[in-house]
Amino acid sequence: MTPLPTATPFTHTIAKGDTMLGIALRYGVTLEELQAANPGVDPGFLVIGNALVIPIEGQLSGEIPLPTPLPVPWSAPRCYPSADGGLWCLILVTNDQSTALENLSAWISLYDAQGNPVGGQAAVAPLNLLPTGASMPLVAFFSPPLPDGLLPQGQLLSALAVEDANARYLSAEVQVSAVEISENGSQASVQGQVLVPQGSIPSMVWIAFVAYDEVGEVVGMRKFDLGAPCGLPSTAEASSTALPTPATGTATFTPTPSATPAPLVVCTPFEFTVYSLGPVIHRVEVLLEARP
């Protein structure tokens, strides 16, 4: 008897900004199933252009659930309409653990006034890393058209403790020099510089700006990929008094504690603007992720 041909495996080509968890959520498989189907791939270092095998039903025996997320505080989803009739929805997660967190995700469902489900999708984090004591929004966008009066509900899917952080993340920091909030509060510009441990040249730097209103609700978020911006960093140590106190508005940054702290040096300056999804911006928090 002629054997049946082997099915061609379904694959996903890794693109800029992809994470292992995000790919798993996109195709409706668990993170463990995706890792089991790609045993030679390091989830912390995905290579753009490489292909991941997506396990279809029946390829792996049994169903492995996602790890139970750590019991961290998270807010009910808050949604804002977009100009094209879509909906931006955000869940704010706060890290009250003694270690940094990574692979944060949530699920946001939309219901009409009668309680009927209208749609749902994963809300993902702008960065992989959330330091102890910091907060970060998980964001989902629902495309138009959408009916009026939708009610969102959320569920935290994943929040994992960082293991061996010093091997995968640099203890980089942000030093803010100025924050300018527009008169109507619709946007805020933040200037400063990225600091890295002396002798380190990061291969990747991501920076995110989270805007809050006066009661602490998230009203805007922007992420920027700085690539590998440092080149050869200065050997002059950064000083906590090297930059003036922000003149208007406030911007805060929570560093990731390092087991082996090193003097910080200037990597690159930055100036970016974050925009409100509706309410007036009162303050901005800056989040940073750098990898060796």
Which DSSP string do the residues of 79-136 spell out, in sequence order? EEE-TTS-EEEEEEEE--SSS-EEEEEEEEEEE-TTS-EEEEEEEE-SSSEE-TT-EE
Same domain, 145 and 206: no
**How large is the C-alpha radius of gyration of the chain?**
21
Same domain, 247 and 262: yes
Structural domain contains residue 271: yes
Does residue 24 have a pLDDT over 90?
A: no
CA distances from 287 to 75, 126, 142, 196, 211 (A): 18, 9, 25, 14, 11
CA distances from 264 to 131, 200, 233 (A): 18, 9, 10
Same domain, 205 and 138: no
Q: Which of 141, 163, 185 is the last residue of a domain?
A: 163
Q: How confident is the model at residue 208 (pLDDT cuts 50, 70, 90)?
A: very high
What pLDDT is recorded for position 249?
A: 64
Structural domain contains residue 19: yes
Same domain, 194 and 282: yes
Question: Looking at the DSSP assignment, which residues form a beta bridge with residue 156?
Answer: 106
Structural domain contains residue 211: yes
Q: How confident is the model at residue 253 (pLDDT cuts 50, 70, 90)?
A: confident
Q: How many domains does the chain have?
A: 3
Same domain, 32 and 125: no
Structural domain contains residue 63: no
Q: Domain containing 145: what range? A: 78-163
What pLDDT is recorded for position 285?
A: 97
Does residue 26 have a pLDDT over 80?
A: no
CB atoms within 10 A of CB 162: 21
Strand 187-197, strand 264-275: pairing: antiparallel
For 59, residues 6+ apart whose C-beta sits below 8 A from its C-beta are: 37
Which DSSP string do the residues of 200-238 spell out, in sequence order? ---SEEEEEEEEE-TTS-EEEEEEEEEES--SS--SSBP
**Cβ pair 45, 81 in contact under 8 A:** no
The residue type of 232 is: L
Structural domain contains residue 32: yes
Does residue 152 have a pLDDT over 90?
A: yes
Q: What is the overall mean pLDDT for the chain?
A: 83
Does residue 242 have a pLDDT over 50?
A: no
Residue in this structure with the two tokens 């290579």, named with its chain if needed: 47
Q: Which of 163, 185, 201 is the last residue of a domain?
A: 163
Same domain, 190 and 242: yes
**Cβ pair 173, 253 in contact under 8 A:** yes
Q: Which carries the bigger pLDDT value, residue 79 or residue 115?
A: 79
Structural domain contains residue 58: no
Does residue 31 have a pLDDT over 90?
A: no
Same domain, 177 and 241: yes
The CATH number of whichever domain residue 154 belongs to comes to 2.60.40
Structural domain contains residue 66: no
Structural domain contains residue 62: no
Same domain, 112 and 149: yes
Q: How confident is the model at residue 9 (pLDDT cuts 50, 70, 90)?
A: low
Q: Which of 118, 134, 163 is the last residue of a domain?
A: 163
What value does the mean pLDDT take over residues 146-156? 93
Of 165-169, 179-183, 235-239, 269-273, the one with minimum mean pLDDT is: 235-239
As a 3-state breakdown, the chain gives helix, strand, coil percent values, each rounded to 5, of 5, 40, 50
